[in-house]
Amino acid sequence: MPFLTPNSLASLVQSALSTQSTRLGRAAHAQMIRTLDAPLPSFLSNHLVNMYSKLDLPDSAQLVLQLNPSRSVVTWTALIAGSVQNGHFASAILHFANMLRESVQPNDFTFPCAFKASGSLRLPATGKQVHALAVKAGQICDVFVGCSAFDMYCKTGLRDEARKVFDEMPERNLATWNAYMSNAVLDGRPLNAVYKFIEFLRAGGEPNSITFCAFLNACSDTSNLELGRQLHGFVMRCGFGKDVSVLNGLIDFYGKCREVGTSMMVFDTIDKRNDVSWCSLVASCVQNDEEEMACELFLRARKEGVEPTDFMVSSVLTACSGLAWLEQGRSVHAIAVKACVEGNLFVGSALVDMYGKCGSIEDAERAFNGMPSRNLISWNAMVGGYAHQGHANMALALFEEMTVRSHEVKPNYVTLVCVLSACSRAGAVEMGMQIFESMKAKYGIEPGAEHYACVVDLLGRAGMVERAYEFITKMPIRPTISIWGALLGACKMYRKTELGRVAADKLFELDPKDSGNHVVLSNMFAAAGRWEEATLVRKEMKDVGIKKGAGYSWIAIKNAVHVFQAKDTSHERNSEIQAMLTKLRREMEKAGYIADTNFALFDLEEEEKVSEVWYHSEKIALAFGLIAIPPGVPIRITKNLRICGDCHGAIKFISGILGREIIVRDNNRFHRFRDGHCSCRDYW
């Protein structure tokens, strides 16, 4: 390298920083050592400290600083700013203290860095000390220093101090107003953000994209669709209609307000979409139960060359969970591995949740055990996965493990729902009641509607239907739909028709338009042979305009989803399906199987009842799976309603005589049939 002047070397160091080239920076440093006398001029040392600290080479930065005999506030601020920029907040505070020990006074660039480090570390005491120093130095009136102090108090939860700093600021810039609104939303005070936005406009402020996004987040948190729409119009009027960050905020806002169609409309207006645009729309679809659309968007994004981010991957995995689409979930898992986001905490938790909800508990365990770190969501996903599969002992063992000293993860509301659900599905009545009764004393969690519903389900599944009803009457909260629904399901299971009528009447009051409750009551009367009452319930449905939702079962084979209804003959391979059904029925009858005609829901002759239950949608889907899926591969069926008792018994029987593993996910739980047994242990 030819001889360079000190100014040229300084420019070279700046170029190394702007291009993020450590190699170029070290070469420039080496040239300084070779061509210049020691110690280096202070301005060059400052450039080097700034470069090394911001390139996240703290040891080199500190060494240069120590070799500089005339360390100034510029030198120290460069080191502190670089530490903050790279997330080394504790080091930044330490450097700030060392600077003060050398009697170097901080300036208006140093204080904001110290405030940010204090806020990020959630150290209010340290932040207050920095604030006192800023007041003493006469720097607190600087708009940037004051804004940083305000932000620090917000992040450390000191609302009163934050408000005082804001009110006493002689001048507020746009960043200050944005900080107020953003922190109000983060602190769970969205209405404060709305009021401050209005105050900002009245003061003549001109908002930017950050202002608009903060206001949209406040509208989302309050589900204020009308106010958000007004802002949308204001955004267009202010000339931000093409700003991608504002449009991304609108996509997110409309999605959270359950206006996914409007989210898509906004998405279509973006000329240059970024990965946040795609992530926001995918998340909006997932939030609005449009899982298939979310998966389609993900595939579109991949075709357009969008790199998968951790947020996008975790959102799509959630969509796969909702669809119980194991094959697609595995494909997304492979993409996550290729994109090097598999180790991300949120992606890992989503993988555990997806595999658990898709019925592959072994894959869920592998994903869980492979996580480099876990949070409460990860633990809840694994406990919930065991609960869905009916593995109560494993769910409870994992629950114990997460709360022991080696992990010390404090369970939350959701954790206890998962654990009580596991007890319910496995019939562990005593254990479930013990956990419920110790919730508040042991874990500090006040039981909610979901916990009460789990207890009703727990007692009802165990046949203690009257005790479950008595439990409801003594509850300190008003029974919800899920609580009465659990009781109605238990009454149907154990044919407690009179108590079932009571539960159904309560459900009709709470949700008169839900067809499911009417159907359950009608089916319960039909199963008890009370045909007149069953017909009367269906007539009442018809009179008030309630239509029964159709029952479907579907099975995914080779990236195609095949959907079936009861008595369905529309499939292109219908002749093969019918032949397989006939073959299965013949082999099962030879082996001693007798159809449970109590699940025929019409008053028919016995032979007609047998035929009626034989052509339920899940049996047709199973027949198709047997002809389309090679031997040895598990057959996975999903049903939008609860599997009927006859289908449950038939599939259990088929798994034994054919030696096939069959997994059925209905709207209540997973059923894993192997060797003539079901994982639900017949608590279906």
Q: Give the pLDDT confidence of 380-389 residue by residue, as tens digits.
A: 999 999 988 8
pLDDT in tens, 167-182: 889 888 898 999 999 9
Confidence of residue 38 (pLDDT cuts 50, 70, 90): confident
Q: Which helix (H) or strand (E) holds 557?
A: strand 553-557
DSSP states along 56-80: T-HHHHHHHHHH-SS--HHHHHHHH
- Alpha-carbon separation of residue 86 from 27, 152, 216, 497 (angstroms): 23, 18, 29, 66
Q: pLDDT-based confidence at 491, cuts 50/70/90?
A: confident
Cα 580 to Cα 598: distance, rounded to the nearest angstrom: 24
Q: Could you give the residue ranges of the DSSP H alpha helices within 561-665?
A: 574-590, 606-614, 617-628, 645-658
CA separation for the pair 267, 64 (Å, rounded): 49
What pLDDT score was predicted for residue 306? 92
Question: Residue 529 pLDDT more than 80?
Answer: no
Give the mean pLDDT of 567-580: 92
Looking at per-residue pLDDT, the higher value among 598 and 166 belongs to 166
pLDDT of residue 405: 65
Is the Cβ–Cβ distance between 310 and 344 less than 8 Å?
Answer: yes
What mean pLDDT is predicted for residues 33-53? Answer: 88
Q: 3-state secondary structure string, 30-55?
A: HHHHHHCCCCCCHHHHHHHHHHHHHC
116 torsion bin: left (phi>0), alpha (psi -120 to 50), beta (else): alpha
Q: What integer best gives the mean pLDDT of the chain?
A: 87
Q: 324: burial class by Cβ within 10 Å (0-12, 13-18, 19+)?
A: buried
At residue 575, the pLDDT reads 94
Judge whether residue 549 has pLDDT over 90: no
**The pLDDT of residue 667 is above 80:** no
pLDDT tens by residue, 272-306: 999 999 999 999 999 998 998 999 999 999 999 99
- Inter-residue contact 223 to 253 (CB < 8 Å): no
352 CB contacts (<8 Å, ≥6 apart)? 364, 367, 368, 371, 378, 381, 382, 385
Confidence of residue 603 (pLDDT cuts 50, 70, 90): very low
Say how far apart CA 183 and CA 163 lie, in whole Å: 12
What percent of the chain lies above the pLDDT cut of 90?
A: 54
Q: What mean pLDDT comes out for the span 425-432?
A: 85
Among 41, 50, 104, which residue's Cα sits nearest to residue 69? 41
- Reduced to 3 states, what is the DSSP secondary structure of residue 591? coil
Distance CA 648, CA 670 (A): 11
The pLDDT assigned to 601 comes to 47
Is 494 in a helix, a strand, or coil? helix
Could you tell me the pLDDT band of residue 351, with boundaries at 50, 70 and 90? very high
Encode pLDDT of 359-376 as tens digits: 889 999 999 999 998 999
Structural tokens at position 30: 């080496």
pLDDT of residue 8: 87
Residue indicated by tokens 């005070």: 189
Q: Residue 678: which pLDDT band, with cuts at 50, 70 and 90?
A: confident
Residue 187, pLDDT score: 86
Coil, strand, or helix at residue 563? Answer: strand
The residue assigned the tokens 């997330």 is: 87
Beta carbons of 641 and 668 less than 8 angstroms apart: no
Instruction: Give the model confidence (pLDDT) of 580-596 as tens digits.
Output: 999 998 888 888 877 66
Sign of CA dihedral 39, 43, 46, 51: negative
Give the integer Cα–Cα distance in Å for 326 and 336. Answer: 15
**What per-residue confidence (pLDDT) applies to 604?**
37
Q: Taking 90 as the threshold, does the pLDDT of residue 346 lie above it?
A: yes
Residue 238 has φ and ψ, to the nearest 5°, of: -85, 0
* Contact in structure between 148 and 115 (CB atoms under 8 Å): yes
Looking at residue 545, its pLDDT comes to 61
Instruction: Dump the DSSP string for 272-324.
Output: S--HHHHHHHHHHHHHTT-HHHHHHHHHHHHHTTPPPPHHHHHHHHHHHHHHT
Residue 420 is predicted with a pLDDT of 93
Average pLDDT over residues 657-667: 88
pLDDT at 287: 93
Mean pLDDT lowest for which of 27-41, 125-139, 240-254? 27-41
Longest pairwise C-alpha distance within the chain: 107
pLDDT band at 544 (very low <50, low <70, confident <90, very high): low
Q: Which helix (H) or strand (E) holds 89?
A: helix 89-101
- In 460-551, the DSSP E strands lie at none
Q: In the predicted model, is pLDDT for residue 509 greater than 70?
A: yes
Q: Read off the pLDDT of each residue in 338-361 and give the average, rounded to a whole number.
A: 91
